[in-house]
Chains A and B, each alone.
Chain A
Amino acid sequence: MKIHNKIILLLLGIFFTYTLLFSGFIYYSISNYAFTDFYKRLEIRAASIAKIKLDNSNDVSSIREVHDDFLEKLPSQKEYMFRVVDGKAEAAAYQGELPKHFIQDLIEDQAAKYSKGNKFYSGILYETTLGAKYLVIVGADNYFYAHHIAYLRNLILTSLMFAILILVIISILISRTLTRPVNNIISEVKEISSENLHLRLKTSDNNDSLSGLTSTFNDMLNRLETSFETQKNFISNASHELNTPLTSIIGEAELALSKPRDGEEYKTSISKILEEAEMLDKKTKALLFLAQTGYNGKAQKFDKVRIDQLILDIKETVHNINANYQIKIDYSLLPESPEKLKVKGNEQLLHLALSNIIINGCKYSEANQVQVGLAASDKDVIIVVRDTGIGIPEDEMQYIYDPYFRASNTGDFEGYGIGLPLSRNIIQMHDGRLIVNSVLEKGTTVQVNLPIGGYSL
């Protein structure tokens, strides 16, 4: 069943039951009241008639006055009086229109009620001052019950009909207002595909859960679009990067094959091809590594790593790569307890990430000294790499983690633009943070926070 119809039926059911109960209660209590009230009236009449007709005391005249002045005659009012001797009424009582069980009840209980259709009877057993017993019965048409109750019943029935009509309309309106925004979202979402990911859902200003849903959906689209864009950029950049060495390999080979050459010429061109092929190999390897670190949950072995030791190792490695690179390690803020220098991580990966950052610092500061500071707070090990190099233009800071992105001022330096994204991937794998601050022409500071492993001595 559609949610639309479900809401209508639910609302209708609730409201209808409520109205039915409500009107039924009113009808029941009013008719009940009409019954008891009318019996009471008949009983008063019976009592006063008995007093007037059967007793001859002094106060009878005043009762008669009251009776005549205030008690109007009821429609088709009829009075019966039967003498009772030895617990039995006279024979006339049993022969009239009154049923025998009513008379019997009357004698036994001293008061009784009886109704037949519209006709109501109420009687009492009256004992005169002289000791004689009489049954005094008054019967009359209950005009109120006959006419007003019927009117009330019709009124309630018609109002119920109207109520249902109004209920249907209200439920349809409510269910429309509830389902329309959802339907709108559905139709809008249907329009969005990979071709037009820039489309967003319309958001309303009110702060209900539906607008929350739309904004959440829009956020999701934002993320999707960014990752789509990154992917697209990555593919075009990667294919360009891989294409360049391939083109030169092909060109070199074609040139060599265009005419017969001597051995020396072949040798140079093959060595050129080899050089380009090695470059290509490096690039694909870096790419592969980036792809591997990009996926979380891969089985990487995490072990105890001492960061101070690691930094010394890295210094050695960097020296081996280029003897001109100068690194100054600043241990002045080294924490007192060595426990704070141990992190849980993969040593090879961390080595790669940090050496990438340090080599970047050396490379872009033209072999000026690079400072590597090590410190620890209560939660993190903090490694600070500070160079006095070319810096990163402020408006390009947001792209520095895009693979193959290279800042506009890096033209004179070699590189593929893989190092920093790779480092960030690795640091994120270790639940760490990478903070890059840079002032153009002044230098760059990279701060790496890695959570302390919690190893004791």
Chain B
Amino acid sequence: MKQVEKILVPTDFTVKSLNLVREAIEHSSAPQLEIVLAHAYLPSSITDLLFFSKSRLIEKLSNKEFTEACKLIKSKYDTRIHAMYVDILSSNHASYLNNYLEGNKIDEVYLPENMEMKPTTTDSIDLVPILRKCRHTTVMIPLPKSLVFIPNRVNQVSDLFQ
């Protein structure tokens, strides 16, 4: 078994979506994990395309609560998380995603079984249905009911608690 396993988890920059990361870490048996938080974003305007900068985009999309929640997870699984970072995918084609997964040597993809991702911006794309079609090791994770049916909670760090 590999020492560090690389996994991909879709995110919509809400604290709630990070619960998937928790579940994925619990589910995985690898001693160390490199977690890629993937978000699909298709810039619609010319200026966005021309001046595309991944780091600036991530900064724009993410929020204080999200980063704080990421830190909480990191300190909870300090020894198991080898690295955890956000990456932007810029296509919704299955072939692109296959390429991406292969090129980045992703070992496993974790998807929520019963939770929908809300598009963060109008240019964001829900990755879950596309990833489901990919010919890659995907693991469907059922999230606890209490979490899925949280009545429209505001995005806050406490969403990480079930």
Contacts and interface: CB of A to CB of B under 8 A. Distances in A.
Q: Do these two chains interact? A: yes
Interface of A: 330, 332-337, 340, 371, 373, 375-378, 382, 384, 386, 435, 437, 439, 442, 445, 447
Contacts of A378: 71, 74-75
Nearest to A378: B71
Given A376-B72, A377-B71, A439-B154, A335 B78 contact: yes
A336 B162 contact: no
Contacts of A340: 75
Nearest to A373: B161
Contact of B151 (A371, A437, A442, A447): A442
Nearest to A386: B158
B79 interface: yes
Interface string B53-93: 00000000000000010011111111100000000000000
A375 B154 contact: no
5 contacts: A333-B76, A337-B75, A375-B76, A442-B151, A447-B158
B25 to A, nearest CB: 12
B156 A437 contact: yes
A306 B73 CA distance: 20
A336 B79 contact: yes
A38 to B, nearest CB: 74
A46 B162 CA distance: 117
B161 A330 contact: yes
A336 B156 contact: no
B134 to A, nearest CB: 31
Contacts of A335: 75-76, 78
A455 B81 CA distance: 23
Interface residues of B, number: 20
Nearest to A441: B151
A371 B78 contact: no
Contacts of B68: 377, 382
Given A376-B72, A382-B72, A442-B151, A336 B78 contact: yes
B38 interface: no
Dominant SS at the A interface? strand
Contact of B157 (A330, A439, A447): A447
Given A386-B161, A445-B158, A377 B72 contact: yes
Interface in B118-162: 151-154, 156-158, 160-162
Nearest to A335: B75
Contact of B162 (A332, A334, A376, A447): A332
A384 B159 CA distance: 10
B154 A437 contact: yes
Contacts of B161: 330, 332-333, 371, 373, 375, 384, 386
Given A378-B74, A382-B72, A333 B151 contact: no
A64 B73 CA distance: 112
Nearest to B150: A442
Contacts of B77: 336
A439 B72 CA distance: 24
Contacts of B158: 373, 384, 386, 437, 445, 447
Nearest to B70: A377
Contacts of A376: 72, 75
B146 to A, nearest CB: 10
A371 B152 CA distance: 18
Given A378-B74, A439-B152, A447-B157, 16 more contacts: A330-B161, A336-B76, A336-B79, A373-B161, A375-B76, A377-B68, A377-B71, A377-B72, A377-B74, A382-B68, A386-B158, A439-B153, A442-B151, A445-B153, A445-B156, A445-B158
A333 B71 contact: no
Contacts of B78: 335-337
A382 B76 contact: no
A403 to B, nearest CB: 26
A447 B156 contact: yes
B76 A334 contact: yes
Contacts of B156: 435, 437, 445, 447
B136 to A, nearest CB: 29
B160 A375 contact: yes
A360 to B, nearest CB: 16
A377 B75 contact: yes
A386 B154 CA distance: 13
Contacts of B75: 335-337, 340, 375-378
Contacts of A336: 75-79
B79 A333 contact: no
A384 B157 contact: yes
Contacts of A373: 158, 160-161
Contacts of A442: 151
Contacts of A445: 153, 156, 158
Contacts of B72: 333, 375-377, 382
Nearest to A383: B158
Nearest to B75: A335
Nearest to B71: A377
B160 to A, nearest CB: 6
Which of B152, B153, B157, B162 has the most chain A CB within a 10 Å cutoff?
Answer: B157
B147 to A, nearest CB: 12
Contacts of A384: 157-158, 161
